[in-house]
C-alpha cells in the first residue's frame, strides 16, 4: 500500500492477491477404516483499492474509498449439473463436468465502497460514523447440534455466491477530567446477503458435494456497545457492555426445506448480552493486582422434544432451529503481578501469579441428551 500526502489530505492506494485451498481428512495407517477423501477446493482472489483522507476545517474529518474484488473458483474438480426447479438435495443429476487444474470454474467480482467521518463537537467530544461494503468468499458453516460443534469452511462456487455485507455504524465518544476517563456509545447494523445455512439432517463431513446440504439465505446483525475506561490513577481498568442480535432467514420455494417457516431465527453467533469488566490496582511501584470478569448469554441450540422408533432405530424429533440456549457463560480470573529488578538474569523480569475461574463455574461447551427408558430427554453438559 502506498500513501501520497498532499496539502490537506492523504491518498492511499494498493493491491492485494491471495490464494485459498481446503485440506482433507485422512485416516491413520493403523486405523481399521476404509480411506476416504473429499475433493480439494482451490481459488484465488485479488483486489485493488484506494482511500482518500482529508480534513475539512478544524472539526470535520472525512475518509472515503473504493475497493474492487475479483475471485476465481478453480479446478481440478468435478462439478455436477442438476435438474432445474428442484431442491439440490433431491434433484436428479444430469451430468458431471471435470475441470482441469487451474481452470476457472466460476468467477465473481464486485465493488466495495466505504466512507467514514469524524466530527468534533468540542475538545473532548466527537461523533463518528461510517458505512462500508465487504465481500466474503469463504463461508463458515457451523452445526451446533452435535456433541462437538462442527465448523466447515466452504469456498464460493457455482452454487454458493459470495456473501455480501453492508455495515453501518455511528458513535458518540467523550472524554472526562482531562482524558482520565474515556467513554463511548456506538450503534451498528449489518445486512448480509448470500449467507449459508444447512438443511435439517445435513451431513457436512466428508461430503464431496456440499451444495446438496446447504441453503442460501440472508442475515442481519444489530446492536449497541457501551465502553468506559479509566486511564490514570492507582486504580485503572475498563468496562464494556454489548447488546447485539445476529439473525438468519432462509426463504425457499420448497416448503419441505424451509427453516422455521421462513421466519427470522437466531444465528449460531447470537449472544444478546456480553459484559467484560477489567480492573487493575497498583499496590506499589513494583506490584499490582488485577481481576477480569466476563459474562455472555449462552449461544443458541436446538433441543429435541421427543423421540420415536423407526425400523428398530431411535430417532429424535426437533422443533424450530436455535430456539433454546445453553447456560450463560461467566467467570472471574484474578492475578498478582510483580516486577523484579534484581541483578540475576533468572530473577529479573515480570512475574504473574493467576487464579483462573475463581469460583469454579462449570461453563458448558456443548450439550448432549441421555436416553433413559421411561424418562424425559435430559440434557447433559
Q: pLDDT tens-digit profile of 244-255?
A: 999 999 988 888
Q: Which of 48, 43, 52 is nearest to 21 (CA)?
A: 43
The structural domain count of the chain equals: 1
What is the pLDDT at residue 22? 57
- Phi/psi for 14 (5° steps) reads -175, 180
* Contact (Cβ atoms closer than 8 angstroms) between residue 158 and residue 105: yes
The boundaries of the domain holding residue 185 are 54-66+85-380
Determine contact, residues 266/300, Cβ cutoff 8 Å.
Answer: yes
- Residue 80's Cβ-count burial label (10 Å; 0-12, 13-18, 19+) is middle
Q: Is residue 348 included in any domain, yes or no? A: yes
Q: Which residue has the cell 485422512?
A: 26
Flag whether 142 is in a domain.
yes
Which pLDDT score, from 0 to 100, does residue 174 have? Answer: 96
CA–CA distance, 145 with 204 (Å, rounded to integer): 12
Residue 203: per-residue pLDDT: 79
Q: Which residues of the chain have pLDDT under 70?
A: 1-36, 143-150, 342-348, 370-381
- For residue 373, the model assigns a pLDDT of 61
Instruction: Report yes or no on 105 lying in a domain.
Output: yes
Please identify which residue in the block is written with the cell numbers 538474569: 345
Give the residue carrying C-alpha cell 476465481.
72
pLDDT number for residue 146: 54
Please report, for residues 149, 241, 291, 354, 363, the alpha-carbon distance to residue 358 in angstroms, rounded to integers and kept in the order given: 27, 22, 10, 10, 13
What pLDDT does residue 7 have? 47
Please indicate, yes or no, if residue 36 is contained in any of the structural domains.
Answer: no
For residue 79, being part of any structural domain is answered with no
Q: What is the pLDDT of residue 141?
A: 83
Q: Give the pLDDT confidence score for residue 13 in this predicted structure.
A: 58
d(CA 316, CA 151) in angstroms, rounded, equals 22
pLDDT of residue 372: 64
Q: Number of helices (H) and strands (E) in the chain: give both, helices first.
A: 0, 25
pLDDT at 380: 44
Residues with Cβ within 8 Å of 71's Cβ and at least 6 positions away in sequence, in order, are: 43, 44, 45, 107, 108, 109, 135, 137, 156, 162
> In angstroms, rounded to a whole number, what is the distance separating the alpha carbons of residues 365 and 267?
17
pLDDT on residue 182: 96
| Residue 17 counted as domain residue | no
- What is the structure's pLDDT at 1? 55
Q: Which residue, 169, 176, 67, 75, is CA-closest to 128? A: 169
Query: What's residue 346's pLDDT?
Result: 61
**Residue (of 326, 333, 325, 327) closest to 294 by Cα position:** 333
pLDDT at 381: 44
4 belongs to a structural domain: no
Contacts 24+ apart (CB under 8 A), 98-103: 99/74, 99/75, 100/75, 100/76, 101/42, 101/74, 101/75, 101/76, 102/74, 102/75, 103/74, 103/75, 103/76
Which DSSP state fits 307? E
Q: What is the pTM of this model?
A: 0.84
What is the C-alpha end-to-end distance of the chain, expressed in Å?
A: 49
What are 286-345's pLDDT values in tens digits?
899 999 999 999 999 888 887 777 777 777 778 899 999 999 999 999 999 988 776 666
DSSP state of 356: S
**Cα-trace Rg, the chain:** 26
C-alpha cell at 105: 470454474
The pLDDT assigned to 374 comes to 57
Tell me the pairing of strands 313-318 and 287-296: unpaired
Domain annotation covers residue 18? no
Amino acid at each position: 500500500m502506498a500513501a501520497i500526502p498532499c496539502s490537506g489530505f492523504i491518498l492511499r492506494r494498493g493491491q492485494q492477491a491471495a490464494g485459498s485451498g481446503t485440506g482433507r481428512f485422512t485416516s491413520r495407517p493403523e486405523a481399521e477404516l476404509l480411506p476416504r477423501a473429499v475433493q480439494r477446493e482451490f481459488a484465488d482472489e485479488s483486489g485493488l483499492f484506494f482511500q482518500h483522507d482529508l480534513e475539512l476545517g478544524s472539526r470535520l474529518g472525512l475518509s472515503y474509498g473504493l475497493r474492487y474484488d475479483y475471485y476465481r473458483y478453480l479446478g481440478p474438480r468435478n462439478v455436477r449439473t442438476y435438474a432445474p426447479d428442484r431442491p439440490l438435495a433431491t434433484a436428479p443429476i444430469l451430468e458431471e463436468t471435470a475441470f482441469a487444474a487451474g481452470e476457472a470454474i466460476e468467477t465473481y467480482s464486485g465493488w466495495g465502497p466505504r466512507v467514514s467521518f469524524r466530527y468534533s463537537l468540542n475538545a473532548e467530544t466527537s461523533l463518528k460514523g461510517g458505512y462500508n461494503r465487504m465481500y466474503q468468499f469463504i463461508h463458515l458453516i457451523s452445526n451446533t447440534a452435535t456433541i462437538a460443534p462442527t465448523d466447515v469452511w466452504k469456498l464460493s462456487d457455482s452454487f454458493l455466491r459470495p456473501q455480501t455485507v453492508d455495515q453501518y455504524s455511528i458513535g458518540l465518544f467523550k472524554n472526562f477530567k482531562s482524558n482520565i476517563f474515556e467513554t463511548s456509545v456506538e450503534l451498528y447494523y449489518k445486512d448480509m446477503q448470500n449467507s449459508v445455512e444447512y438443511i435439517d439432517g445435513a451431513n457436512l463431513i466428508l461430503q464431496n458435494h456440499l451444495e446438496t446440504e446447504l441453503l442460501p439465505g440472508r442475515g442481519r446483525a444489530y446492536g449497541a456497545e457501551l465502553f468506559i475506561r479509566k486511564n490514570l490513577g492507582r486504580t485503572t481498568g475498563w468496562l464494556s457492555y454489548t447488546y447485539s442480535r445476529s439473525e438468519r432467514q432462509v426463504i425457499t420455494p420448497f416448503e419441505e426445506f424451509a427453516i422455521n417457516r421462513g421466519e427470522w431465527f437466531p444465528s449460531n453467533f447470537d449472544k444478546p448480552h456480553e459484559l467484560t469488566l477489567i480492573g487493575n490496582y497498583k499496590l506499589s511501584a513494583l506490584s499490582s493486582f488485577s481481576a477480569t470478569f466476563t459474562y455472555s448469554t449462552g449461544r443458541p441450540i436446538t433441543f429435541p422434544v421427543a423421540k420415536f422408533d423407526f425400523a428398530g432405530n431411535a430417532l429424535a424429533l426437533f422443533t424450530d432451529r436455535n430456539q433454546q440456549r445453553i447456560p450463560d457463560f461467566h467467570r472471574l480470573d484474578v492475578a498478582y503481578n510483580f516486577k523484579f529488578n534484581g541483578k540475576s538474569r533468572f530473577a529479573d523480569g515480570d512475574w504473574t501469579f493467576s487464579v483462573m475461574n475463581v469460583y469454579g463455574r462449570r461453563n458448558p461447551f456443548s450439550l448432549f441428551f441421555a436416553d433413559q427408558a421411561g424418562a424425559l430427554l435430559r440434557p447433559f453438559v
